[in-house]
């Protein structure tokens, strides 16, 4: 009998238990629509499917991301071919991401977009944060429009480029708008207190943002 076949299987039981626990933890961090959606290619770190994110994702490529209600999703350098949808009471923290569609948060606890070690986020479509808590959009290049409306928490919009309009309306937790380049109109209506900020460039500035 060889040395390998003579080893008793009970000696490996603790290792099997540990490996199973690690796999369960990884699947809890990112729960896909199907098991196939979680399959990551060893060559390019991509997945082919739609991901329900309730943990942390790094520099992988996915088709779309949904953050389930009440959960938190952290994206670091993640590429999303389509949309990112943030559910009611959920939190998104996205840094250095590339999104081919839209980022939408309706009734979310918090939506945060920003850079990762100086690498800006890019969103080809629109960014929308409505009827939620905090909203922070910084160091992000947005191909479409930006809508931040009817949020009860703090709003920060800084150092972005926006290819369409930027609408900031009816927020009640305080609004700071600084150093944004907006191709069309920067419009602010019925925010209480009124927005503060400076250094914004837009084709037109309307309402409470007229002097920003």
Asked if residue 17 has a cis previous peptide bond (ω within 30° of 0), the answer is no
Return d(Cα 110, Cα 100) in angstroms, integer.
21
The per-residue pLDDT for 84 is 98
- 105 phi/psi in degrees, rounded to 5: -130, 115
pLDDT value, residue 17? 37
What is the per-residue pLDDT for 108? 98
Q: Output the CA–CA distances (angstroms, integers) from residue 202 to 25, 148, 165, 199, in the order listed.
A: 46, 17, 9, 10
Q: What is the pLDDT of residue 48?
A: 54
User: 108: exposed, middle or buried (C-beta count within 10 Å: 0-12, 13-18, 19+)?
Assistant: buried
Mean pLDDT per block of 10 residues along the chain (212 residues) reads 41 39 34 34 52 95 97 98 98 98 98 97 98 98 98 98 98 98 98 98 97 95
What is the per-residue pLDDT for 15? Answer: 39
pLDDT score, position 49: 82
pLDDT of the residue at 47: 55
pLDDT at 173: 98
Q: What pLDDT score does 191 carry? A: 98
Rg (CA), the chain: 21
CB atoms within 10 A of CB 107: 17
């Amino acid at each position: 009998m060889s040395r390998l076949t003579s080893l008793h299987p009970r000696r490996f039981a603790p290792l099997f238990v540990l490996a199973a626990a690690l796999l369960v933890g990884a699947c809890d961090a990112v729960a896909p629509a199907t098991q196939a959606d979680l399959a990551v290619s060893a060559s390019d770190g991509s997945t082919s499917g739609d991901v329900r994110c309730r943990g942390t994702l790094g520099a992988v490529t996915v088709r779309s991301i949904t953050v389930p209600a009440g959960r938190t999703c952290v994206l670091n350098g993640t590429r999303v071919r389509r949309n990112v949808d943030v559910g009611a009471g959920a939190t998104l923290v996205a840094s250095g991401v590339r999104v081919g569609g839209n980022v939408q948060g309706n009734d979310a606890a918090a939506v945060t977009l920003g850079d990762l070690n100086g690498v800006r986020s890019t969103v080809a479509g629109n960014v929308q944060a409505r009827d939620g808590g905090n909203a922070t959009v910084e160091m992000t290049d947005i191909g479409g429009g930006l809508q931040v409306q009817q949020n009860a928490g703090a709003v920060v919009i800084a150092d972005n480029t926006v290819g369409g309009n930027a609408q900031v309306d009816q927020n009640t937790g305080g609004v700071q708008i600084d150093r944004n380049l907006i191709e069309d109109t920067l419009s602010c209506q019925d925010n209480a207190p009124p927005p503060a900020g400076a250094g914004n460039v837009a084709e037109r500035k309307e309402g409470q943002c007229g002097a920003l």
